[in-house]
Amino acid sequence: EVQLMESGGGSVQAGGSLSLSCRASEYTPGTFCMAWFRQLPGKKREGVAGIDGDGRTKYADSVKGRFTISKDYAKRTLFLQMDSLKSEDTAMYYCAADPGSCTLVSGPVMTPSGYRSWGQGTQVTVSS
């Protein structure tokens, strides 16, 4: 089972940017789906951005045009570039990976049940 470790979270003013990273403990084949989710205490985990083995991406409507997901196979790392951050982006962000069942005809799935490997999370706090 692949293990994931997130980094890059922190506090930032609204309108600012942060870049999150997620490093895998072992090589993840290109067929793997990888995604970012976020969650607040007492709330359901929400899909933020995903990328499948073909490079197709999917974003939550709330972050389209502001967030960009990418991955570097050589570095075994998934990235999430977050720009124009808003207070509502405040949450614990989690990295997730799956060997392939996450891939749909249209791209990666954006529900937690589609992923079997998870990181411990990194906190993102956006303030005015």
β-partners of residue 82 are 18, 67
**45-71: per-residue pLDDT in tens?**
999 999 998 889 999 999 999 999 999
* List of the chain residues with pLDDT < 70: 28-30
